[in-house]
Structures are given as C-alpha cells and as structure tokens.
A and B are shown apart, each in its own frame.
Chain A
C-alpha cells in the first residue's frame, strides 16, 4: 500500500508528511483530582489525572526519603479500540507504558522539592488511533501543570515513522500498523533535551536521524500548543477571580 500518494504527496488521511494531526488539550476535566487534563491527537484521546503531592501511603515503596515518589498507572479503556476484546489489567504492554510514562515525567518533576511525598499519575486511553504513548505523556504534562506540581520544563512527546521512503510525523493507527519504523521521542522543550527515545524497528543511521529530527520538531510544536492551553487556562482563572 502507498502511505504517501506519489502524485499528490498526501498521506492516507490528507495530511502532508510533516504535518501533525489536530491537537486538542483541556485542563480540569476531573474535579476530584488535584490536576487533570484531556489530550487529543486526531482520534487518539487520552485523559490524565494527578493526585499529589501527598503523604507516601506505602512506606515500603519509598526508596529515597529526600525525593518525592512518582507513581503512574496507565490503562486502556476497553472501548478504546475497535475490537471488543478484554485486556487484562496489568498486562505487559500496560506495565511497560506505565514505566515509560513514569520515567519520562520523573525526569522533569522537581522531586527534591517534595521529600517524603508521593505523586500519582493516572492515564487512561479513551480512544486509540496511534500515538497513544505520546498522547499520554502530553496529557500527563498538562495534568501535572494543572496540579501545580513544580517541573523543570514541559515534557512533550511525539512520534514519527518512516514509510514509502518518507519520514512521516505523528503516525495514526493505520500508518502505525504498516510495519515500518516508529520512533517515539520525548523532550524537555525549553532545555532541548531528549528524555525518551523508543524505536521498534531497524533504520539506517542517516534515515533515523531525519526521522528523529522530525519527531523532535513535532514535540516542539506540541510544547508551544501546551503552553498556549496553560496560558489560556491561567487567563480564565484570573477572570474568574475577577
């Protein structure tokens, strides 16, 4: 199948190779949580809720009392994919993604400012259409910001792939399942530091650099958007206060 039309240069869904899907971010969607956010990348929709910082519930888990303990739980809603299949809780994929999100977020949270406390991040995929990992990280960033948790920088994530000899930004499910390479990158936007890099196929070195460069561009664009969302939200709060 041709994932990039050789004549028009458009992808299957009408985007150009270096275009991202439509983004949507909203904070404060779960009233009970300390911070929460909804994040959409095209048809991929993710909700994140943050509790904390609060007292460590299970002292056994605390490794270092000088730093806050970050925990993360990732789940896919059973209705999030087309097929009606039961996914057992705590399967290997979920465990792995939970770990990835936790490590990525930990890298930006100023944990040393919150000793003897814990932060819980819950992420749930409501609708999956490729790029769920990235959407989860972006949602978590928004939710953490909403909860007022001190962070070094905004962490954002975006994926890029390589199909039909073309680097493609932000793969949707169709493109993702084409079997080409899929590079997921997470960065600290202002500091220009890569904190997450995953790839599940082989790529030639120079191709890989192009694909990764594209993903980083995507991350930066998302960071700009997330800043706008947060700014909007702050303005709204200001207005409410009067």
Chain B
C-alpha cells in the first residue's frame, strides 16, 4: 500500500520547494506478543505480559523516565516508531539508552513500526499540530494492539499528558500516568525513580527550601532560543562548551570560536545553572569587571566552599588545578589582579549535557516518622557537579551509600538542580563500591565480552599453522634470539627484542610487537568492541582488558618458549647507534626468555655473566644510552613523576605496602627502543598515507601554563629558560643545589605544567603541528602496545597497508570517522588514567586507615592559611593548615613573591621547597566520610 507524503521545505539557497515522498505501508509488521497466533510464526517475539499489562509509552515518558524504564521491574513495553523518532530528535543520549533496551535480549522491549503499518498509520489532519498528530498515532497503535490481542490481554497506555490520557479513556483505552502505574506495582523503592513533573503546580519547588525568606529568584531566566540565535549571529553572544574547573567548581571556561579565546565564567550565578559539558551562549561582562574578585563566592555563600583534599601528585597540567586563580589561593588574598582574559556570564543553554552522577547524600538528621517522602541533598563525587536535590521514600537505606542520581530540572528559584535517585552501588568506603564508582565516573566498560565478540576469537588452543609459515609476507625469525623485558608478573607481553652482532661490526636490532591485527579484523564485533574500549585500564590489583583474555594473555602475548606471530621493525645500527637501514615485516618469533626489569638489570650488572643473552642485553643497553643521550641533546624533556606501587594481600586484596615505583636502567633501555620503533613506524605510515595516518602529538606548553613553575623557581632564585623545549631541558639539567632531591622536585613541578600528548588524524593538522614536545620528535605514534591500546591496532593496519601486505580498511577513507576514532581514543585514554589515579588514591586511603604515619614532606605551594606539601615517599600531595579551619589565617603573613609564610614577631616561617615533617592519618570529620589528613609535627 502506498501513501504519499508531501510537505514544503526551504532549500539551502532559500527557495521554497515542495517535496513529495513515497511512504510505503505494509502488512508484514507483527505484534511481538509471544502467545499470538495471528501473526507470522517466524516473527520476532518479546512480549509476555504474564503478570500485568502490555505497556504503550508516549514520547515524554521515554524522555523523562528512562531511569525507570531501565529498571528490571518494568517489562513488556511497546515502543512505537513515532515515539522513537521523536526521542531521537529531542535527546540523542536518551535515544541511545532506549535503543540499548530494545536490542537487549534480556529485556522485553519491543519496537513496533506503527508508521509503516497499514492499520496504524495516521494521516496528518488539517490544522492539527504535530504533537497532537503523534499523540493520536500513539492512541491508534494502542487500539490496534488491544483489538489485535483481544480482551484477555490488557494494553495500557502510559502518559503524563493529561489531555492525551483523557482522550484515550474516552476512546475506550486503558490509560494511566507513570506515577499511578508505578504505585500499582507496589514497590516503594521504584517510586524514587519516577521523575515528578515540574511544570505542574505540585512539588519540589515548594518544599525544597524550608526557609521561606530564601524563596527568591536566584538565577536569571535563560533567554529564549530565538533571541540567542540572533544574538549569536550579531556577535553579542558567544557559543561554546562549558568546562568547569575540576579543582574549583565556581570557575568555568567556555572555549569560544567567535572570540578565539576562552571566556572565564566566575561564580554559580554567572554560570547560571549550566553544567559541565553543556553547550551555552555567553555574554561578555564589561571589561572593568574582568578582574578577579572574591565577591563571586559571596553569592554562593554557606556550606559550599570545600577545600582541597589530599590527592595524587598530578602527572600533567590536565590533572592539576588551573593556574588562573589558584595562585591567588583560597582565602585572604583580596588584591584584585587585572586579568587579560575575557569574563562573561551564561545567558542561555543551547544543549544540555545532563547525565547521571555517582555520589552520596549529604549527611542529615533522619526526619521523624520514617516511611514518608524525604528531601535530601546529593553530593556528587565529581566536584564539578553542583549538589542535587532529590526526594526519596527510603532515606534510611540511602544515607551511607554510594548512589547514582540523575538530573531532571533546574529552575530560577532553586539554588540546586532537582533530580531523582537511580540506583545504589554499595556502602561508602567499601573497596568494591568505591572501585565501581571510579569505573562509572570514568565511563569504563567492565561488562564481560559478548558472545558475538568471543565468537571472533581463533579456535583455542591456538598454535602456529603451516599457512602462517608459508605466508610469503611473514618472515620466519624463530632462529633469532628474541627476549622480552617487562614489569614483574606481566602476562600481556606486547613487545620483545633482539640484538645480533653483524659480521661488519654493526648490530641488527629488532623490535617485535604482538601481531594483534592478525586476529582482530576490521569491522568485526571484536574490533568494534576494542575500538570502543580504546585501551585496557589498570587499577590497583585489577586490569580491565581491551581484548578478551585468551588474546591478551595467550595467543598474542609474546611469552617465552612458544611460537608467536609478530610485527617487527628491524634496524641495522652502527655501534654508535646510527640507524643505517630500517625494515618492517610480519614475522614468527620464539622468545627465549621473558624477564622482569629486575632480572634483566641483575644480569647486566653481574659482571661474571657472559652468556649470549646477557651480552645482547648489554649491547642493547649501550645503544640505548647513546640514543637517549642524543634524544636529550635534541631537547627531549626528562620529566619526573612519582608513580606509586602497592603490594596487595592476595586474600583480602588490601594494600600491604606502598612505595614509589623504582625506575631502572633496564626500563629506560626498553623505553628507548619502543620510542625508536614508534618513530620509525610514524615515518613509514605518514609517507604512504599523508592524510589518514593516526599520529600522536604533544603541544608545546604556553607561557601561561608554565607560569606556576616560573613563579616557584624565581622565588628561590632559580632562572628557567622556557623559550624552547631544548632550553627548558638544559635549564632543568642545570637546576642543582646541595639538596639531592632538589632537581627531581623541580622536574615534578615542571611535569604538571605540561598538557598530555594526544592522538590525531594527520589530515586534520599541518606538519608543524605534528610535533611531540616532550620527546622533541617531529613525528610520533603508538605502535608497540596493540594488546592494550587500540591506537596501536589502527597503526598496525596502516603499516600493513603501507607494506602492501593488507588492504587499508575502508574506514580510512572517511576523514570525519577517523577523527572520531582519534577523539574517542583520547577520551578513553584520559579516563583510563583518571581511573588509575583514583584507584591509587583509594588504596592509599585504605592503607593509611590502619597505619597513621610520620614522614617527610616538601612544601610545593604556599597559601594564605597554610601550604601544600608533596610527600615523596607516597607520591601524594595535600594541604597543611597552620590555623584551624574557619580562622582566616589571621596571624600569618604571606609573602607571595618569595612563596613564604611567616608568623610576625617570631622566627617561624615556611618557604617553598622546604622540608617539613608531617603526620598522616585517616580521619572522619563526618560519619562514613573518611579522608586522609596531613598535619605538621
């Protein structure tokens, strides 16, 4: 059957055009009800309705009650295509969640293409709004279900739209609101998931603040969309994504293309209810208001101001507090400094980035007479998120739990947004719970691999086949003395090496990387899953794999004494480590030893050993030293980080010991050859694919980013030249004093000023932008860890195509898609790092819970009421207060220029980099909210 749809539309050139489209109606769309005998026997069936009714939901129910729908208590839901289309247009995030429900085999959510069905398609009526038309289509579909299934099955239309519900009942349908339906299920906890409509006259707004005097307009109204659009067009407003400062939630930045700079937004009232990640429209404030002043905190008053906690030492500027305001520090310094950066306020929100968040309820007295509805404030673990008001009927179950809460609305009268409870993760402070929070917060997929993904694995146990050996593109290197060096206990061995003395006195050095792409083929479910995960995630005592275990620990892992497939980069090098030639080949290797760094180091150090393997190691090491020196001479930075290592109890999985990870020469040796292999591969793939290579760059830090380092350095009379990476590297080398730890400390401070390196697609940037600042390399990529990084998988495919031993997958012809892959990899990479750090912080807390400790610390920043110390032994830093909290630092005098605090009339003073002795202890300022506290001895 055929319907013609015609409508008018405006073309790009502004002309009005009549468009006629065909719309085919069909009779082969089935109801999906399992017992139905009227429908085709082969049709897909999902609906059972053994308990209650078949639910037909309208668009707003899906849009607003998605958390409820995701709860397993809700089943037998029919999703009409008209509803899905509307949801897709209005909120893509919700659409993806409902899509996941519909494709989940364990859930009974059935998609009914009502718009294509002969009997349920409705024609537009003259004068009818599209909303009304869609509501009518929903009712028609509900009717069809009721008459198709007969009276024995109840079909229930769920809608919160009063008008739609009335019409449905008039037409003889069963219809209910979400709330009344959920009530009928008699599961009180479920009601917390129901989003209470805010448009109505009921509700949260009335009860949310118990002090009537506080009922005032707190935020300005958002401008209507039409005004925003015209404002953007004539340049009054600026559009961009809002990013909240991770360390100061009252400050945010909007990267604006129209200004070409970041606009700073200070204070919650200027942020005007925008969340981190929202696309907002911003209006600039007059220039005389651009200076910083403390006043912006005033309007957020009361409890909100939180202080810095003890945390891991940042590894890059991305982990560190933004420097714009941090030097002015928390309290006391009122001298306004004129900022050159534009300051603005949010006038409207173009696209919301509302999500669900992990956190806990703010401790509160239990209201008398439990069982009723209680109002509580939810505090997200992510400090960028404001507190969220929720109402709950199960307060006593939630108070000391980690819970997930979703945001629903934020009115001008309300200081905080309103939201609803989604689910409970577990007890606060419990290791499993907190680890899950870390994983959720960083969007890390921990689900087991699906059967489709596992189906892509080669038959196990895998062994080398004759086919592999006969492959002319694969060189047999089994006779070569190949070995690997990794951290102790490493099971996913990505890389192995060999080093052979050639008759002409040169060395043949090979880097052999696990041939993952021999098993992971483009476009397969396995490949898509790995691309999505992007990287393996390493937590303390736990690893979340990018690829299934049989691949990571067995088939791909270059273990000792087994034949494995590899992708090799082989150089001929002079004894001076000059590369004479480079070749690339797929290979078969048989590693003769899988050593740990300690073992390798011990062999090299033991002068009695002269066996071939040890000689190889020593040769490699001397080459690596030359390469490393050369790299440093080019200006590569030797940065320092304090990586922490735990010893974990094998039974309780609690930390037994904690210490700084020691870096040995053997580590540096391996690293050097990996860098060289990555650079060689980057050159090769870029030569063949100048537009679609995946590379890695490290942007040069701006002067502004290095500001904190320079300030600290100058306060102790050290002059650093930051004009280039080479100059900086040299001044870091020259930063010496009689304090043996001094140089490392300066390097640690330098590290946190740099941003992280990022992946990018070569076609998106110009050659000069490819530069890797930290390595002082004009080209760089990742090739050496395909088992645990997807970027390396992509690069392996590029290299194979460059060698013409495999076709380049079609995705590489699609620039935007490739950029999308790079963006996702950066996102996953960053999240994986944040998760590792959070996991270390969690275990540090658990470790010190039973072990109060005295130790040495170094002052790294001076503040008005104290200073920030770095604890080298444990790799953490945190605040030390000279005066109790609340006392605004009265009798201490801060000297910003020399980074020193002095107590007047005494000779007690503290200066930056000074060593102090501190006491570390876990305290519970509020019940069930443990935190690590540092105090001066």
Contact = CB atoms under 8 A, between A and B. Distances in A.
B23 interface: yes
B18 A82 contact: yes
A32 B2 CA distance: 33
Contacts of B807: 204
B19 A202 contact: no
A24 to B, nearest CB: 11
A7 B21 CA distance: 22
Interface in A82-137: 82-83, 129
Contacts of B22: 13, 21-22, 42-43, 129, 172
B115 interface: yes
B810 A13 contact: no
B116 A22 contact: no
Nearest to B808: A204
B21 A174 contact: yes
Contact of B19 (A13, A82, A203): A82
A207 interface: yes
Contacts of A42: 22
B99 A6 contact: yes
A83 B81 contact: no
Nearest to A165: B523
Contacts of A19: 24
Contact residues on A (Cβ < 8 Å of other chain), bracket: 20 to 34
Contact of A207 (B102, B116, B810): B810
A5 B23 contact: no
A15 interface: yes
Contact of B84 (A7, A14, A22, A172): A7
A13 B99 contact: no
A215 to B, nearest CB: 19
Contacts of A203: 810
Nearest to A6: B99
Interface in B88-125: 99, 102-103, 111, 113, 115-116
A58 interface: no
A8 interface: yes
A13 B116 CA distance: 9
B97 to A, nearest CB: 13
Nearest to B79: A7
Interface string A54-67: 00000000000000
Interface string B141-185: 000000000000000000000000000000000000000000000
Interface string B1-32: 01000000001000101111111111000000
B813 interface: yes
A165 B823 CA distance: 22
Among B22, B81, B115, residue most surrounded by chain A Cβ atoms (within 10 Å):
B22
Nearest to B809: A204
Contacts, number: 57
Among B24, B99, B103, B111, residue most surrounded by chain A Cβ atoms (within 10 Å):
B24
A83 B17 contact: yes
Contacts of B2: 22
A204 B810 contact: yes
B98 to A, nearest CB: 9
Contacts of A204: 807, 810
A211 to B, nearest CB: 13
Given A7-B102, A8-B113, A83 B11 contact: yes
Nearest to B810: A204
B117 to A, nearest CB: 9
A207 B522 CA distance: 14
B23 A13 contact: yes
A44 to B, nearest CB: 10
Nearest to A83: B17
B15 A83 contact: yes
B23 A82 contact: no
A225 interface: no
Given A14-B116, A22-B2, A8 B21 contact: no
Contacts of A22: 2, 22, 24
A42 B102 CA distance: 32
A13 B24 contact: yes
A14 B25 contact: yes
B13 to A, nearest CB: 9
Nearest to A43: B22
Interface string A73-84: 000000000110
Nearest to A9: B113
A12 B807 CA distance: 33
A32 B78 CA distance: 58
A6 B84 CA distance: 11
Interface string A26-58: 000000000000000011000000000000000
B810 A14 contact: no
Contacts of B25: 14
Nearest to B25: A14
A113 B683 CA distance: 64
Nearest to B26: A14
B81 A8 contact: yes
Contacts of B79: 7
A43 B20 contact: yes
Contacts of A83: 11, 15, 17
Given A42-B22, A43-B20, A10 B810 contact: no
Task: Please name the 10 residue pairs, one residue from A and one from B, whose CB atoms are nearest each other, closest first.
Answer: A14-B24, A8-B113, A14-B116, A7-B111, A82-B17, A204-B810, A13-B22, A42-B22, A15-B24, A10-B116
8 contacts: A7-B111, A8-B81, A10-B113, A13-B24, A82-B17, A82-B18, A83-B11, A83-B17
Given A82-B17, A83-B11, 5 more contacts: A13-B21, A13-B23, A14-B116, A83-B17, A204-B807
